[in-house]
Chain A
């Protein structure tokens, strides 16, 4: 149990275009989903927290107009990188929490390359 999927696993896009990444909890309802970014040989950095049906909370330094997060249901959250630039190239990972202080489960990640 507790499986989180992400789609796509890899995406290459041209500078200036937008990319949407989906995060789904497959076998549980996620009260909260989180989006992280990981640069090569670095740890995960939290970008934003999203709760179903409400606006996402962004970490300091993360542009909310550039990284649009929608959490439309208890099993789906999407991250849209708008007007992507090469510096946005990274590994984007989502996680989902069932409820309470328990475990968070991570998706397999999406490798974004902006050319």
Chain B
């Protein structure tokens, strides 16, 4: 089975712009979660989508949004970028059913805001 893929791998944007990141989960997985990872804050949960519906949301401002398509692929959008949004954005997929909630991560998108 192919793993989780994320595109693009690297992105440089200017403050005030917006960005869209893409994630393709493992085949058969219906849950996609997004995380932001920074040296200071570690891995922080952004939101989770299951069968095209946002099931969980972390404590991030409304500039961070996402969606999931019928084929389980997901996109994350960040509007009005700030310098502090520079981070590694990770997508993880899961079957979404198990209480153990094992997640499989993609390689991440490294976003740099200048």
**Chain A complexes with chain B:** no
CB within 8 Å of A: which residues of B?
none
